[in-house]
Chain A
Amino acid sequence: MTQAGHVPGAGTPAASAAERARRDMLRDARVTARDGVRPRIGADALCEAILLQGSDTIWGYPGGVILPLYDVLVDHPELRHILVRHEQAASHAADGYARASGNVGVCLGTSGPGATNLVTGIGTAMLDSVPVVVITGNVPNALIGKDAFQEIDITGITLPMTKHNYLVRSADEIPHVIAEAFHLARSGRPGPVHVDITKDALMGETKATHPSTAEIESGLPGYKPKLDGHPRQIKLLAEAIAGAKRPVILAGHGVLIAGAERELLELARTAHIPITWTLLGIGVIDETDPLAYGYMGMHGWKHVNRAIQSADLLIGIGMRFDDRVTGNVRTYAPKAKIVHIDIDPAEIGKNVVADLPIVGDAKHVLDALLPLVTKVDPATRADYFAELAAWRTESEGSSWHGSGGFRDGVLSADFVVDRIAAGSNFDANLTADVGQNQMWVARYGGFRRANSHLSSGGLGTMGFALPAAMGAAVAVPEKVSWAIAGDGGFQMTLQELATIVQERIPVKIALMDNKKLGMIRQWQEIVYGGNYHSEQLAGPDYLKLCEAYGLPAWKVSKPEEVDAAVAAALAADGPALIWFEIAERQNVYPMMPAGKGLSDLIDKWGDDGEDVTEGATGPRVDPMDPTSGGAK
């Protein structure tokens, strides 16, 4: 009897299969002979299915078990594969691609660490309802569950943070699963869908055909997104609007996802209602429109939060009354009746009690509502709008930007954001990172069109800006794509500088360097009584860094240098970076401390009339230089 080796259960079919699979793993499996006709394999079906769904870009990184796909990519030249430097960037780039274009983004990684590196981007897309299809390779079927090299239970990991996920074990399943994944990702409340495919499935020969949309839908009896709102509820909403004296529209991401900006504006104009927006709702209306009132919430405009607190009717559309929007729910808009329109029934009544819930797609609901809405003569709301205008003048005038504090020779971040937006004719896509920079972009970006603001709102993922802006630049090449990041977030994903140089992706990077984790420093100052820790952030010489990567870069530390640098970066052919040395201790105001209400905003300018930039004009602290002192 021959020795079968040290295989558990040696000789059994399962053990033989596992052994074969191990040998396949060790061999650099070349699936096809390039010359002559080769059979169609699962990896081909995957490429075809992605192209059939209208996506032409994959953000990915190769690895052992996903190599069969890379072996056939050359035969699908319509599919552009962009090699990133870290899988996290692939998932953010696919996310940015989707946010900017409305198409489904696709990212790819190998098993094990390739897959786990994608996870942060999957969570980011999940919390912000972004349609992304995530593809990972997995070890051969026979090795699943054996703790094989680079094997991890990735579908177990992504299960709670995806809209749905799959483990595909045979090539024949691929066309159907990929079509279903795209359908789920983009329909209803969008979200990421993860497809984990074993190496056998990628390599197996298949004749499986691609299903029609009808076949996909009929195969999903448990998935029927409700698009149309209930007619009775919509009629009640029209009545509520007719009876309201101080209505406010709260527009969220759902309006943009539904493409309902025109209907929203028509509602606001017909019933003469101011429009306010959430972080992800930025772009629902041109901010220069007379009915555009502003950004709400924890770091929103004081006048906007005041309007919400004094409203008698709040019409929430495609938003979820998240804690950053409401603050303490018990003190939220105490006089208002709340209308909540959302496509996800689970959002209704989750955070606030809706007096009038409407489950449906924003566009469908607004289309049904508009014929029922009584035209309101603006004159009848003259007092209301005069009060709103007065609040606005006061709140904008008292912001650092409005007060002209930046002119004292320090470079204030809000001024920089404003000049970037203006220098790009208010037509660029601005991708923010997370923290203070994110709030400055939200407040001062001056957005004029839908899907031009990209921000990790729900998960708050630092490192998001550069890779997501990369995705936006590829998805919408006709628009300038800015990544506006703090020095903290930038250093989390700056390896992608190599990607944008290699692939000539024309991302313009605005690095807002305050040599701090600015929002951490702000919280430690205000909430933790000045007990600073881990907020000082050393960074490299970014000009040298860019030189090393082969990227044109400028350093700006004075307000008067900003416009020229922005123009130079925009004029550069391809990617470029501006290193803005901004004020080190500028805070984002107003601020609603966690647990407080919208009426409890901290707004130092308003409270004591003084500019709180004390320290911002003090000596610069170089965290690389121990002698420069942290001015604690």
Chain B
Amino acid sequence: MTPTSTARSLPGSGEERRHLIVAIVNNKPGVLNRVASLMRARNFNIESLAVSVTERSDTSRMTLTIVGDEVHVEQAAKQLYKLIDVLKVQDVTDESIVEHEFALIKVRATKRTRPEIVSVAEMHRSKVVDLGDEAVIVEAVGEPAEIDTLVELLREFGIKELVRTGSVVMSRGSGSIEEQVKR
């Protein structure tokens, strides 16, 4: 039936956007699999995922980017939190954060284009970490949009290989997600 003004609204606005979720999890084998399996089973698409150990060796920190409306993403966070090995989940999208990503970009180079590539890299807070006769590797750190821009500029030289880590985030100020984990 066509929705009318009296129809009950369904959960979620349907307005999709990119959300950044931070999860503090037990640093144990299989936890990444639990998280990935849950996201797949519940039909959430992970755009990027970065995992590493935290200040405490018994916990890891995951940063996930998920696209969806607010209810969809809230469901993802709640379902994640149901995993026994997940200690803390927070959607930091609208918080004051530093969001950075790391990328390595292998660019096709010739004697003629090499200085040009180096200068493009330098103009974008990135640096050349390997200089060969036919290719250079540019290392970039920054917000995903900055890296997007750099990649666009380097594309005209020809990109042979590109690897990005996905975003990692940290809230500005003295607050700490890891310290909020109740033990």
Contacts and interface: CB of A to CB of B under 8 A. Distances in A.
Contacts of B38: 160
A117 to B, nearest CB: 22
A236 interface: no
Given A164-B84, A345-B78, A222 B26 contact: yes
Interface stretch (A43-51, A94-102, A105-113, A348-356): A348-356
Given A328-B1, A334-B6, A353 B84 contact: no
A617 interface: no
Contacts of B71: 349
Interface in A32-71: none
Contacts of B82: 344, 346
Nearest to B6: A334
Contacts of B83: 222
A353 B87 contact: no
B34 A159 contact: yes
Interface stretch (B8-16, B98-106, B130-138, B163-171): B8-16
A331 B37 contact: no
A331 B84 contact: no
B127 to A, nearest CB: 40
Nearest to B2: A330
A96 to B, nearest CB: 25
Contact of A221 (B33, B78, B183): B183
Nearest to B182: A221
A329 B81 contact: no
Contact of B1 (A155, A222, A331, A346): A331
A1 B10 CA distance: 74
A384 interface: no
B153 interface: no
Interface string B63-89: 000000001001100110111111100
A353 B7 contact: no
Contact of A330 (B8, B26, B41, B79): B8
B3 interface: yes
Interface residues of B, number: 31
Contact of B7 (A334, A344, A349, A351): A334
A222 B87 CA distance: 4
Given A160-B41, A352-B8, A224 B182 contact: yes
A222 B30 CA distance: 15
Interface string A305-345: 00000000000000000000000111111100000000011
Contacts of A221: 87, 181-183
Range for the number of chain A residues in contact with chain B: 20 to 34
Contacts of B34: 159
B1 A329 contact: no
B81 A350 contact: no
Interface string B12-36: 0000000000000110001001100
Interface in B79-122: 79, 81-87
A345 B81 contact: yes
A155 B33 CA distance: 11
A498 B78 CA distance: 45
B102 to A, nearest CB: 28
A382 B7 CA distance: 29
Contacts of A149: none
B10 A329 contact: yes
Contacts of A353: 8-11
Contacts of A420: none
Contacts of A220: 84
Nearest to B38: A160
B74 to A, nearest CB: 7
Contact of B84 (A222, A345, A349, A352): A222
A328 B9 CA distance: 11
A55 to B, nearest CB: 21
Contacts of A330: 1, 3, 7-10
Contacts of A167: 30
B8 A333 contact: yes
Nearest to A338: B8
A86 to B, nearest CB: 27
B76 to A, nearest CB: 10
B11 A349 contact: yes
Contact of B37 (A160, A224, A344, A351): A160
A237 interface: no
Nearest to B78: A346
Contacts of A349: 11, 71, 74-75
Given A330-B3, A334-B7, A346-B82, 4 more contacts: A155-B30, A222-B85, A331-B1, A349-B75
9 contacts: A160-B37, A160-B41, A221-B183, A223-B84, A331-B1, A346-B82, A349-B71, A352-B11, A353-B9
Shortest 7 CB-CB distances between A and B: which pairs? A346-B78, A330-B7, A222-B87, A164-B84, A160-B41, A221-B183, A223-B84
